[in-house]
Chain A
Amino acid sequence: MIEKGKISALQMGILMYHAILATGILFIPASVYDAAKQDIWLSPIWASPVGFLCIFIAYKLNKLYPEDTIIQYSQRILGTFLGKTLGLILLLMLVTSLSVMFWQYGEFVVSEFLPHTPKFVIIGMMILLCASAVHGGLEVVGRLAGMVFPIFFLLFLVIIVLLLPDIEIKRMLPIMENGMMPSLKGSLVLYTWFAQFGIVYFFLPFLTNREKAMKFGMLSVLVVMLTLVLTNIVVIWIFGNVTENFNAPFMSASRYISIAEFLSHLESLVMAIWIAGTFIKLCAFYYTVVLGTAEWLNLSDYRPLVLPLGLVIGVFSLKAFLNSSEAAEHFEIVSKGFMDTLVYGLAIPMLLLLAAYIRKLIVRHKGESEK
């Protein structure tokens, strides 16, 4: 095994929580609002089964091949050539996905906070920071996630509480005005986020208490769902029909907070927790790319690959989209519910699990016929 470090199932759950939610907490309300209108708070509930399914499939595959990650067992299930091809497709998708995430991070920081800083400085600094964390291995990333989580959650709750004076509950009425369909259509966007739970297949072999992986994985999906429901419901209580005018409604909502004139400008708090969460998210995906590449090439150590892969990802992320209208086009495609995360998070593991079961059946059949 390349990775020598171990993390606990709880740390994995927290890592996944950040890996899904970090970008979601800001962008989800506005992108779901197009389809779901005032029912956006229902959409995460409809989308969460995708997350449960991803965790379940990854767990089942891990039971069959407990010491391997997906790059290794895809070769054992499908044979060397097909397995390597599938692994390459998976890695290319992960690199692409990661480059889009870095672009999103850079674009958001430039547009909201540092308008005069060149984007390559912002993305480059983040890549250097993530590279140093990934260089430390999975243990470092896992512990960082565990360290950030309490602060993240506490500040998130503080902001929710401070927003309470401004809410107007009747803005979410009528609930399910046009039946369930609008909120179901809105949940298509969320599949993108929940399908990212699929990347646990890179972490499961390195758990100290693997029997609890399922429990904490499911718990992680549940907490992500509840956080999203809470965010969406607060956003809709505050903004109602104008939610779609904001790029990041939760951020704009926090600008509203002004208690006794001195407690204001809390968007910096949102930005702080968002940067911390995004850092963990980027580290988690960066780590999967590095580990996956090292395993794909059968190397004995993944550390030499951290910096060059960072360079590749940095170049691609700077040029992922030339401007925000191209990005809007990309997210329009995402909102129709057919997305790279669904392919690498759900479709590929599902195919592998099916192939593994068929393989098992054939082996058993052969064994019986030989008797």
Chain B
Amino acid sequence: MKGVYIGSVTVVVVLLFLYQWPKMKSNDRKEKAAFATIAMIGWAAAVVYIIFPEMTSPAKVLDFILVQVRNFIFGPI
């Protein structure tokens, strides 16, 4: 089942490329690099979440960091 999910995420990313790539001019190398990098980050994140569904999320990491900062400044509540 995980293979199907990974396959469908890959299809979504390929569709993104097919839609957006022809729209960018050939001399916009920076844009193309940025587009490809961010799309790859999204794909990698999706695949990691499919393989490890229980993994932590940015929201929880940020909460943890903020609580640590608050405890450091104001002392534990």
Contact = CB atoms under 8 A, between A and B. Distances in A.
Interface of A: 92-93, 95-96, 99-100, 103, 293-294, 297-301, 303-305, 307-309, 311-312, 314-316, 318-322, 326, 330, 333, 336, 338-340, 343
Contact of A297 (B34, B58, B59, B66): B34
Nearest to A316: B58
A92 B66 contact: no
A338 to B, nearest CB: 4
Nearest to A298: B30
B62 interface: yes
Would you list the 8 A-B pairs with minimal beta carbon distance, nearest first? Answer: A311-B42, A308-B38, A308-B39, A312-B42, A338-B70, A96-B58, A320-B59, A304-B35
A311 B16 contact: yes
Given A298-B30, A300-B31, A301-B31, A312 B62 contact: no
Interface in B43-59: 43, 45-46, 49, 53-55, 57-59
A201 to B, nearest CB: 20
B24 interface: yes
A326 B64 CA distance: 13
A315 B42 contact: yes
A93 B58 CA distance: 9
Contacts of B38: 293, 305, 308-309, 311-312
Given A307-B20, A311-B16, A319-B57, A333 B42 contact: no
A343 B43 CA distance: 29
A297 B30 contact: yes
B41 to A, nearest CB: 6
B77 interface: yes
Contacts of A301: 28, 31
